């Protein structure tokens, strides 16, 4: 019998709405004057990556995901980089599983 180990690297979509960014608390540290120019349905390009965090501040069994994006309008440009820490069975984890890109889903179906 051959045992197979499968390692999955999460590949996320590169756009989130302002509503999604609010849900993930990514705009909490941003002044309202930057956020008010956007509608909840506006798409923002976001770089999303899973990161390893090796410190005593966060539990080892937590997931850590880094978000980097720029809010830009005719009046300003603000670059945001924020890492969130969450339990793998939390609503945040379920939300992030829902935004896995179609490219990864297509690759998984091709493998079967």
Helices (H) and strands (E) in the chain, counts: 4, 4
Give burial (CB, 10 Å; 0-12/13-18/19+) of 25.
exposed
Per the listing, tokens 């820490």 go with 85
pLDDT of residue 13: 62
pLDDT of residue 67: 92
Average pLDDT estimate for 43-60: 81
- Answer yes or no: is pLDDT of 25 > 80: yes
Average pLDDT estimate for 28-41: 86
Report pTM. 0.71
Q: Which residues contact 32 (CB under 8 A, 6 or more apart)?
A: none
pLDDT of residue 35: 85
Average pLDDT estimate for 23-43: 88
- Going by pLDDT thresholds of 50, 70 and 90, the confidence category of residue 2 is low
What are the domain boundaries of the chain? 15-111
Give which of 11, 10, 37, 35 is closest to 21, Cα–Cα: 35
58-70 tens-digit pLDDT:
777 788 889 999 9
- Answer yes or no: is pLDDT of 88 > 80: yes
Give which of 65, 54, 60, 72 is closest to 96, Cα–Cα: 65
In the chain, at which residue ranges do the beta strands (DSSP E only) sit? 15-17, 43-50, 63-72, 77-86
- In percent, the amount of the chain with pLDDT more than 90 equals 20
């Amino acid at each position: 019998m051959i045992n197979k180990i499968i390692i999955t690297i999460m590949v996320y979509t590169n756009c989130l709405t302002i509503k999604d960014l609010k849900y993930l608390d990514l705009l909490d540290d941003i002044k309202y004057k930057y956020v008010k120019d956007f509608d909840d349905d506006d798409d923002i390009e976001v770089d999303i990556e899973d990161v390893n965090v090796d410190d005593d501040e966060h539990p080892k069994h937590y997931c850590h995901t880094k978000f980097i994006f720029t809010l830009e309008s005719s009046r300003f440009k603000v670059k945001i980089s924020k890492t969130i820490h969450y339990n793998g069975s939390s609503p945040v984890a379920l939300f992030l599983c829902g935004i896995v890109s179609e490219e990864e889903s297509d690759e998984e179906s091709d493998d079967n």
